[in-house]
Chain A
Amino acid sequence: MNRLWQALKVFWRTLTDPDFAARVVPLLVKAPTGPDLRVLALLQRDGRLIDFLEEDIDAYTDAQIGAAVRDIHRGCRKSLHEYLTIEPIMIEGEEARVMIAADFDPAEIRLIGNVDGAPPFQGVLKHHGWRVKEVHLPVLPAARDASSVLSPAEVEVV
């Protein structure tokens, strides 16, 4: 599309449509927001992942950690499955021999070992990778999405 035409359209809609204007704001500020933080907030809400990662666990025995991790694992896993559908990038079993065609996507597949630069490559699958197939995150108006809160402070009113 003609960039000038596009710029004029964005200008006009920003001026006349408040919802649209709210959606443009995040593009202009470099605040750490967006879906990535929302996933973190959900993992904290359902599995207390941030609490766990931020806690100093040196003082605790393996048994203490093990007991809690079972619960954190259950909560995070439930949340992860509820809001994202995650699947392996390569469906072959790990340690299986695989052939990588010349037109592979280097974002999806990383070559290690004897990389000689001449595809196709013969190799052994070491890790099948992960990718997000579907996202079921709650749909929020962009204005509310801009919060940097991962978990609100809780105050019991007495």
Chain B
Amino acid sequence: MSRFVVGIDLGTTNSALAYADTRAATADAAAPIRTLAIPQVVGVNDVAERPVLPSFLYLAAPKEFPAGGIDLPWEGPGDRMVGTFAREHGAKVPGRLVSSAKSWLSHAGVDRRGAILPWSAAADVAKVSPVEASSAYLAHLRDAWNHLIAGQTADDRLERQDVFLTVPASFDAVARELTVEAARAAGLEQVTLLEEPQAAFYAWLAAQGERWRKKVKVGDLLLVCDIGGGTTDFTLIAVTEQDGDLALTRMAVGEHILLGGDNMDLALAHAVAATLPNGMEGLDATQRIALGHACRDAKEALFSNPSKAAVPVAVLGRGSKVIGGAVKTELTRETLTRVLLDGFLPRVAPTDLPARGRRVGLTEIGLPYAADPAITRHVARFLGQQAGSLHTGGNFVKPSAVLFNGGVFKAGELRTRVVEVLSAWAGEAVPSLEATDLDLAVALGAAYYGQVRRGKGIRIRGGVPRSYYVGIETAAPAVPGIAPPIKALCVVPLGMEEGTEADVPGPEFGLVVGEPAEFRFLGSTTRRDDPAGLVLDRWQPEELQELAPMETVLPAEDGQAGEAVPVRLHAHVTEVGTLELWCNSTRDPRRWKLEFNVRETSEEVP
């Protein structure tokens, strides 16, 4: 086992790393967890440590910066820059900036291994794939670690440590697979995936120590509400009893919602810009960045000082004129409340559903951003969807308490609003669990989980958060322009544990040697009771989401071309947290692995 356990939060907008040195652990206490301050380029000729690494990749043009101006303390990739300066400078040169790589990684509509980013790049830019970009962030963390911690000790290098890498709970099997692929490309072989809301919950457990047993009781259902920079993620964790002791089980996770703190900051900047004489249009690129910073500062000033009614916001003039051309306005409490609280966390009924369709202002070409910015409506839908699945009898799941995660919840008023809304739905007060470090909790929790896996602490059970299906085409008469309807064969039941595998009962398939065999692949976060082998004839459109298809080719050396081999499906949920589907021959011991085909864009399920 490695000396360190390392937790990495590979975030949409910020990444962080936390670790524990197991040599510091005692017989019954886990080792203390530290975060790594990450050296990064913060300006030309300026490398400094920051607590987080902004997940932005800048593809510099030749001679764009003075020689050595963006060099790191270690041998780096030269013209590829990650971190603070990549983000700051990239805002002025958008055609060379890769951002939100993680959202692209989970976007089924594009070729995720293809060099497609930056989405709107200049012609000369050597584009990268979402997997490559994610890998670049991990490679930067790896180099920083090896520079600061490992030094000359080969065994302490990050490539040789057990790394616990967090992914959104809403990531499906395909996005998880691609995340592991990105880690491998960065040389990290010993990775295990962990869901971010669970990591946040582990951070809470770590901070509470043994006191957590007093804060919850058997039968409690805890809602983790995680609003990251670019994604919002919900998870329900149940407190149960096992052998007379408290146990924790992750019951359900939400769907992928591309909406987060960055959208809030952007909305606020636009609202403030609307009060300027020429609006956002009157500002140049540098001034827009300055406005964003000024609005964030003003927001924090207002939230931390409830007696203030407004905070001045000034944007310095363009060019070398700072006073001439400076524009001044203010962020009022009324604007703040209207945009953030009522815009993103409105008081809604538990039966309200998020609006569908695209909404201008929050969309950028390419990514399927959430159409409705009202996060409370997304919570309502999540709790409503899970009510049927969890057999609560009612039309709504009542959480007993809520745990917040994500930098936006540093503002007490936002936490209060969510608590108010949940309490109104539940008809009784829903307390919030005291979270510690909202920016770094996920990385800290992942490092804690690493020690849990080695037997120090309580593990949240739950298995895979979705059930998975392969599509079987039905024998229906061909109608031009209409895809034949499919049936769905459940291959992995929701909750199947990591490190287990099973044959899928049900039909045999004939695979033809030398020809590609393709299976449509679907997933559901709500169909909790489907056993492996069950065949669904029909389902509600929102119940099952189609994922990237899976395919395999039987090489010719495995038999005569054209010969059909009868196979059964076999599912394996790995310890790493990925899913493998195999075709096992029923005649002999041969088997073939099905691979995700992420190059094909998936269509809506008919």
Contact = CB atoms under 8 A, between A and B. Distances in A.
Contacts of B44: 152
A156 B285 CA distance: 10
A136 to B, nearest CB: 8
Contact of A68 (B43, B47, B323): B323
Contacts of A154: 286
A147 B322 contact: no
Contacts of B328: 64, 67
Nearest to B327: A67
A55 B68 contact: no
Contacts of B320: 51, 54-55
Contacts of A60: 323-324
A83 to B, nearest CB: 9
Nearest to B41: A138
A45 B89 CA distance: 12
B322 A48 contact: yes
A60 B285 CA distance: 25
A71 B294 contact: yes
Contacts of A72: 316, 322
Interface in B61-99: 66-69
A1 interface: no
A55 B321 contact: yes
Interface string A126-147: 0000000000101011001001
Contacts of A70: 312, 314
B68 A141 contact: yes
Of B45, B67, B290, B312, chain A has the most CB atoms within 10 Å of the CB of: B45
Contacts of B294: 71
A89 interface: no
Contact of B68 (A48, A52, A144, A152): A144
A68 B68 contact: no
A45 to B, nearest CB: 6
Contact of A45 (B43, B47, B66): B43
A57 interface: yes
B323 A138 contact: no
B325 to A, nearest CB: 10
B46 interface: yes
Interface string B276-287: 000000000110
A158 interface: no
A55 B45 contact: no
B88 to A, nearest CB: 10
A65 interface: yes
A78 to B, nearest CB: 10
B326 A68 contact: yes
Contacts of B297: 74
A78 B48 CA distance: 14
Interface string B577-593: 00000000000000000
A13 B226 CA distance: 58
Interface string B295-314: 00100000000000000101
B66 A68 contact: no
Interface string B182-197: 0000000000000000
Contacts of A138: 45-48
Interface of A: 42, 45, 48, 51-52, 54-55, 57, 59-60, 64-65, 67-68, 70-72, 74, 82, 136, 138, 140-141, 144, 147, 152, 154, 156
21 contacts: A45-B43, A51-B322, A52-B322, A54-B320, A55-B320, A60-B324, A64-B328, A67-B312, A68-B314, A68-B316, A68-B323, A68-B326, A70-B314, A71-B294, A71-B326, A136-B48, A138-B48, A141-B68, A144-B66, A144-B69, A147-B66
Interface of B: 43-48, 66-69, 285-286, 290, 294, 297, 312, 314-317, 320-324, 326, 328
Closest A-B pairs by Cβ, 5 of them:
A67-B328, A138-B46, A68-B326, A67-B314, A68-B323
